[in-house]
């Protein structure tokens, strides 16, 4: 997780590639506790500008699972969750 001027940038990586999600300061303030969950659901809009695509988070929620989840590998010192995007 990288925070700049109240905006938080989170890079999510899996076997298929990676994606950057962006949380504006007000969205981060509202949902920061949910980021501690191992699995989250992200509601978003996709912004395409200057040849790049970014996922702008509009809301998110923690998803509680009934099984023990494997520990995620922490490449950057902050990755603690998986993202399910709809």
pLDDT digits (tens, 9 = 90+) for 37-84: 777 888 888 888 888 788 899 998 888 877 776 666 555 554 444 444
Burial of 85 (0-12, 13-18, 19+ CB in 10 A): middle
**pTM for the whole structure:** 0.66
pLDDT for the residue 4:
59
What residue numbers bound the domain in which 59 lies? 2-85
Q: pLDDT tens digits for 13-27? A: 767 777 788 999 999
| Number of structural domains in the chain | 1
Domain of 16: which CATH number? Answer: 2.40.50
């Amino acid at each position: 997780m990288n925070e700049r001027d109240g905006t938080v940038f989170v890079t999510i990586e899996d076997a298929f590639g990676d994606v950057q999600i962006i949380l504006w300061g007000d969205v981060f303030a509202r949902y920061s506790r949910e980021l501690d969950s191992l699995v989250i659901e992200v509601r978003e809009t996709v912004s395409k500008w200057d040849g790049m695509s970014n996922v702008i988070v509009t809301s998110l929620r923690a998803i509680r699972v009934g099984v023990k989840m494997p520990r995620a590998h922490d490449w950057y010192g902050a990755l603690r969750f998986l993202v399910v995007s709809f």
